[in-house]
Amino acid sequence: MKIGIIGLGLIGGSLGFDLRNCGHIIYGVSRKESTCQRAIEREVVDHASININSLSTVDLIFICTPITLISSTLKQLTSNLRPEVIITDVGSVKTAIVKECEPLWSNFVGGHPMAGTAEQGIEAAQKNLFKAAPYVITPTENTPKNSIKILEQLAQSLGSKVYTCSPEIHDQAVAWISHLPVMVSASLIAACVGEKEKTVLNLAQQLASSGFKDTSRVGGGNPELGLMMAQYNKTGLLHSLQGYRQQLDEVIEYINREEWDSLEQLLMMTQKKRPPFIGGQKNS
Amino acid sequence: MKIGIIGLGLIGGSLGFDLRNCGHIIYGVSRKESTCQRAIEREVVDHASININSLSTVDLIFICTPITLISSTLKQLTSNLRPEVIITDVGSVKTAIVKECEPLWSNFVGGHPMAGTAEQGIEAAQKNLFKAAPYVITPTENTPKNSIKILEQLAQSLGSKVYTCSPEIHDQAVAWISHLPVMVSASLIAACVGEKEKTVLNLAQQLASSGFKDTSRVGGGNPELGLMMAQYNKTGLLHSLQGYRQQLDEVIEYINREEWDSLEQLLMMTQKKRPPFIGGQKNS
Dump pLDDT digits (tens) for B103-115: 999 999 999 999 9
Indicate if the pLDDT at residue A214 is higher than 80: yes
DSSP sequence for chain A: -EEEEE--SHHHHHHHHHHHHTT-EEEEE-S-HHHHHHHHHTTS-SEEES-GGGGTT-SEEEE-S-GGGHHHHHHHHHTTS-TT-EEEE--S--HHHHHHHTTT-TTEEEEEE----S--SGGG--TTTTTTSEEEEE--TTS-HHHHHHHHHHHHHTT-EEEE--HHHHHHHHIIIIIHHHHHHHHHHHHHHT-S-HHHHHHHHHH--HHHHHHHTGGGS-HHHHHHHHHHSHHHHHHHHHHHHHHHHHHHHHHHTT-HHHHHHHHHHHHHHSGGG-SSPPP-
Question: Minimal Cα distance from A276: which residue of B?
Answer: B205
Q: Say how many C-beta atoms besides its own lie within 10 A of residue A149's C-beta.
A: 13
Please give the average per-residue pLDDT across B156-178, as a whole number: 98
Q: Which of residues 119-138 of B touch A (CB under 8 A)?
A: 134, 136
**Which residue in the set A173, A187, A273 is minimally distant from B244, CB to CB?**
A187
Structure confidence at residue A279 (pLDDT): 84
Please give the average per-residue pLDDT across A62-73, as a whole number: 96
Structure confidence at residue B282 (pLDDT): 38
Report the complex ipTM. 0.94
pLDDT tier at A280 (50, 70, 90 boundaries)?
very low
Indicate if the pLDDT at residue A284 is higher than 80: no
Across the interface, whether the CB atoms of B208 and A277 are under 8 A apart is answered: yes
Dump pLDDT digits (tens) for B24-46: 999 999 999 999 999 999 999 99
Is the CB of residue A73 less than 8 Å away from at least one CB of chain B?
no
pLDDT tier at B223 (50, 70, 90 boundaries)?
very high
Please give the average per-residue pLDDT across B129-149, as a whole number: 97
Is the CB of residue B196 less than 8 Å away from at least one CB of chain A?
no
Question: What domains, with CATH codes, occur in chain A?
Answer: 2-165 (3.40.50.720), 169-276 (1.10.3660.10)
Question: B132: distance to nearest CA of chain A, Å?
Answer: 11
Question: Minimal Cα distance from B182: which residue of A?
Answer: A211
pLDDT tier at A282 (50, 70, 90 boundaries)?
very low
For the sheet containing A161-164, what is the strand order?
A47-49, A25-29, A2-6, A60-63, A86-89, A108-113, A134-138, A161-164
**Which residue in the set A203, A248, A274 is minimally distant from B169, CB to CB?**
A203
Mutate to test the interface with B, among A200, A217, A242, A269 (most CBs of B within 10 A): A200
How far is Cα A40 from Cα A70, in angstroms, rounded to an integer?
24
Closest by alpha carbon to A112, among A96, A141, A144, A90?
Answer: A90
Across the interface, whether the CB atoms of A269 and B177 are under 8 A apart is answered: no
Question: Minimal Cα distance from A207: which residue of B?
Answer: B134
Across the interface, whether the CB atoms of B274 and A199 are under 8 A apart is answered: no
Question: B272: distance to nearest CA of chain A, Å?
Answer: 7
Is the CB of residue A252 less than 8 Å away from at least one CB of chain B?
yes
Dump pLDDT digits (tens) for A117-136: 778 899 999 999 999 999 99
Structure confidence at residue B283 (pLDDT): 36
Structure confidence at residue B80 (pLDDT): 81
How far is Cα A4 from Cα A54, in angstroms, rounded to an integer?
9
Q: What is the mean pLDDT of chain A?
A: 95
**Which residue in the set B176, B205, B249 is minimally distant from A195, CB to CB?**
B176
C-alpha distances in Å from residue B8, one per residue of A180, B17, B24, B44: 42, 11, 16, 9
pLDDT tier at B194 (50, 70, 90 boundaries)?
very high
Indicate if the pLDDT at residue B4 is higher than 60: yes
Dump pLDDT digits (tens) for A143-188: 999 999 999 999 999 999 999 999 999 999 999 999 999 999 999 9
Structure confidence at residue B284 (pLDDT): 34
Q: Which residues of A touch B274 (CB under 8 A)?
A: 189, 216, 219-220
**Which residue in the set A173, A206, A226 is minimally distant from B134, CB to CB?**
A206
CB pairs under 8 A between A and B: 341
Looking only at the bridges linking them, the beta strands covering B2-6 and A161-164 are unpaired
Q: What is the mean pLDDT of chain B?
A: 95
Across the interface, whether the CB atoms of A191 and B240 are under 8 A apart is answered: yes
How far is Cα A26 from Cα A46, in angstroms, rounded to an integer?
5
Is the CB of residue B259 less than 8 Å away from at least one CB of chain A?
no
Across the interface, whether the CB atoms of B271 and A223 are under 8 A apart is answered: yes
pLDDT tier at A80 (50, 70, 90 boundaries)?
confident
Q: Please enumerate, as own/partner, the contacts of A68-77 that have beta carbons within 8 Å and a separation of 24 or more.
A: A68/A228, A70/A97, A70/A100, A70/A101, A71/A97, A71/A100, A71/A101, A71/A104, A73/A6, A74/A101, A74/A104, A74/A105, A74/A108, A75/A104, A76/A52, A77/A6, A77/A52, A77/A105
Identity of residue B280: G
Are the beta carbons of B144 and B31 closer than 8 angstroms?
A: no
Please give the average per-residue pLDDT across B179-193, as a whole number: 98
Structure confidence at residue A243 (pLDDT): 98
Across the interface, whether the CB atoms of B255 and A271 are under 8 A apart is answered: no
